[in-house]
Chain A
Amino acid sequence: MNKLWLIAGGPALVYAGLAIIMGVLPGIALSQTPPGIGVKPLTPIEAEGRAIYAANGCGYCHTQQVRPLAQDKVFGRPSAPGDFAYQTPELLGSERTGPDLTDIGTRQPSAVWQYMHLYNPRSVAPQSIMPSFSWMFDVVDKAPVGTMTVPVPAAYAPAEGVVIPSHQAQALLAYLMSLKQPPLAQAVANEAATPAAPAATAPSPTASSSTTPAKSAAAYDPAKGKSLFTDKCAICHQAGGTGLPGAFPPLKGNAVVNDANPSAHIHTVLHGAEGLTIGGVKYEGAMPEFASTLTDAEIAAIIDYERSSWGNHSPTITAAQVAAERAKGK
């Protein structure tokens, strides 16, 4: 072959065609995807936080895409096309060194926890390998009125002064709190039809059978309870049930957990709590509700684990008791 214009021009032309078909045209078509119901544009401070998220490469370890796979259920409902209407630049990511953040505003709504975790992730999650973002915080003698003091545990706190979030940290928090999946239309419909059922998931093209059917109430499985507790609760209340002083209450020796009447315990796990004073300490953080994400059996397993661990000895409960409490409503 000895014609340069053919050798250079031919493949270039073929490639130009393919680049348009596979790059530009799908881009044009999908850029017009309308926002889903309840998907809102970001407020200015949320947008600022999103820029901080990208600038510091959060997207290299945290995805923002929930796949319709069983293992992704913990992160929320499967992502829908309409979820990404206001997501430019896209932050779907390619690695999950840390957990997915699509729905983190729902899964961990506590500002206290988020600030502690950003200041030093190991202060709330000892095994975390996430970098510390302490440079987004200021150390001052006394927090200005109206500014939250971050209750950093002594091991991680500066020698003197108190830690307060800088504007950067506040913007980042605002963005993280904005990451809440609005329910899909279909899920809303399902919920309306069967109010007691946990949020239904969207159609799954690779429906997996790995979800275990709800266990009978009598069979309390400590391994299952521990696993669920580690996944859902330990991030605040810690693996040893000790909580974190001033930030998250202990469950070890906790009056509600050790109450022979489990009603308050079940109610807290189902519906969350906020602004409680426990053992004379006032806790600012909010505990999320689990009624919409966990089944009665799963909640019973968690509660039974809490009631029989770390020296706690109170009667265990059954899924039926959770169902009864759930039926009572908030």
Chain B
Amino acid sequence: MRTFTTPRTSAGNSSDARQSDEPGLVLILSAYTISATAWLIFATFVGILLAYKFGAPDFGPGAWLTFGRLRPIHTNDTFYGWASIALVGLAYYVAVRSCRTQLYSQWLAWVGLGLFNLAAVAGTIALDLGYNAGDLEYREWPWPIRLIFLAALVITAWNLIGTVAKRSTQDIYLSNWYTIGGVLWTCMIAVVAILPWYQYGLGQVSVSGYYMHNAVGMWFTPLALGLFYYALPKLLSRPIYSYALGVFAFWTNLVFYPIIGAHHFLFTPLPWWLQTTAIVFSVAMLVPVLGGSANFLLTMRGRFGDMRHSYPLAFIFVGVIGYLVGSTQGTVEAFRSLQQVWHLTNFTVGHSHLTMYGFVTFAIWGSIYALLPGATGKQASRLGLGLHFWMAVVGSFIYVISLSIGGTFQGLDWIQGAPFIQSVVDMQPYYVWRGVGGLLMFLSHLVFAWNVWHMTFGRGAEVNSLAPALADRIAG
């Protein structure tokens, strides 16, 4: 078993680190981060509006503000505006730094950013005008718009591979396995989702199951995990606990994940064997999930106290816990016995926020706070980081817990044969609490935007002016 160290983990010399960053790369990371942040604020503002409509359904009448048009705008823009753009920007930066090289093409990175944004803007307008490809989750954008997104993915893959190809290190660090893999796989997912010839009736149901879970699990998961493998050693100035375990988790994730999609359609007329296979591999997913989480937590062994001084580390830690708890919950939800209670209820909405928010979004935040100040030389205030962290943690906790409890009651109402309207009435207090949690989350995003501004073009504190130990860990 070979032990790899991340490049520069021991260097910790911030001024040296800044000199080695091309100004163009810093600008690209900043632009991707700012662009993603704008989408986060827009998409979660729409989310707040949606949450409010559960208690005030007559608020915002008219076609443009109707619930069914805003909901896919919320999901698609958090997926393809916020998370995708932020992850790609960070993946570029991690590729360049871990390979000790320069970006293959800055121009391609800018074109990619333009296309990602074009797709998200066009998709948002299309959905609001009622051009919805058929309520097929996460692929609601009309197909020409999804082709724009695919073009951005292909450019990103090309640019990432080109960057790693001209590395000055001998080995390719594990983070790049995950990010390059994630982008290439997602290109294929996008193609499978667009081609129409095998998507009629029940055939399309099976493709929907495949697509829904792969768009999440083979795109956001590998990119976010790639960030963990880079940012965590960087923040702690120590190598990942077991590189081999990381490689093992990579392969098991690759082989198990694509098979579990049909668990979104248990008890439907999809072939029973397809559903059962999906359940079996949902359990198998515990292997990469527990392996990966253990690797991250063991990398932190003895250093959990560092979180008192480092909010970036605290964000990453929450992200790791979100990955562990959210993914394990996903396995449990795939069992037929439990799905009888939870499927089709708000429990699944809580689950999707635990994973996309508690895991992916916290991973992005931790990585931005860990890497961006080192690139730009500007640091956000500790108060700003603290406000963002605590509002986001408390808000998402309230959100997930309220929908999990409410969703359980919803499912039990149905099992007990109560009139359907009873499940609507019983959800009301939990919808209110979801709104409270969501509002805290949204406010934290405003603080995050403020922090991003300080770390990029605004007047942020010089990284060096912070406590030396902390500066070492954030920079470089």
Contacts and interface: CB of A to CB of B under 8 A. Distances in A.
Interface of A: 1-2, 4, 7-8, 11-12, 14-16, 18-19, 22-24, 26-33, 54-61, 63, 65, 67-71, 74, 79-81, 83-99, 120-122, 125, 127-135, 205-206, 210, 227, 230-231, 234
A26 B206 contact: yes
B272 interface: yes
* 7 closest cross-chain pairs (CB), A and B: A57-B68, A89-B134, A31-B203, A27-B198, A59-B135, A67-B267, A55-B130
A206 B336 contact: yes
A70 B418 CA distance: 12
Contacts of A71: 340, 414-415, 417
Nearest to A26: B206
A30 B421 contact: no
Contact of B258 (A19, A30, A99, A231): A19
B150 to A, nearest CB: 14
Given A7-B172, A88-B204, A132 B417 contact: no
A15 B265 contact: no
Contacts of B57: 121-122, 128-132
B134 A15 contact: no
A63 B71 contact: no
Given A61-B67, A135-B63, A205-B272, 6 more contacts: A2-B170, A15-B181, A24-B192, A33-B203, A60-B135, A71-B414
Contacts of B344: 63, 93-96
27 contacts: A2-B171, A7-B176, A8-B161, A8-B181, A11-B254, A12-B184, A15-B218, A19-B189, A23-B214, A24-B198, A27-B210, A61-B67, A65-B265, A65-B268, A68-B267, A71-B414, A88-B134, A88-B200, A89-B134, A90-B202, A90-B205, A95-B344, A121-B57, A131-B57, A132-B57, A205-B272, A227-B417
A276 to B, nearest CB: 25
A230 B421 CA distance: 8
A184 to B, nearest CB: 11
Given A15-B185, A90-B134, A133 B66 contact: yes
Given A11-B185, A69-B267, A135-B63, A30 B171 contact: no
Nearest to A96: B344
A230 B137 CA distance: 33
Interface of B: 53-55, 57-58, 61-63, 66-69, 71-72, 130-137, 161, 164-165, 170-172, 176-177, 180-181, 184-185, 188-189, 192, 197-208, 210-211, 214, 218, 247, 250-251, 254-255, 258-259, 261, 264-265, 267-272, 274, 336, 340, 344-346, 348-349, 414-415, 417-422, 424-425
Contacts of A234: 419
A26 B131 CA distance: 27
B382 to A, nearest CB: 39
Nearest to B165: A4
A266 B280 CA distance: 50
A312 B35 CA distance: 65
B161 A4 contact: yes
Contacts of B192: 19, 23-24
A87 B189 CA distance: 23
A205 B86 CA distance: 45
A16 B135 contact: no
B359 to A, nearest CB: 20
A91 B202 contact: no
B206 A30 contact: yes
A21 to B, nearest CB: 8
A28 B67 CA distance: 34
Contacts of B250: 11
Given A29-B203, A94-B348, A55 B132 contact: yes
Nearest to A3: B172
Contacts of B63: 56, 135
B258 A132 contact: no
Nearest to B191: A19
Contact of A27 (B170, B177, B204, B268): B204
Contact of A26 (B53, B184, B274): B274
A131 B68 contact: yes
B164 A4 contact: yes
A121 B198 CA distance: 38
Contacts of A95: 344-346, 348-349
Contacts of B131: 55
B135 A2 contact: no
A62 to B, nearest CB: 10
Contact of B340 (A12, A16, A69, A88): A69
Nearest to B250: A11
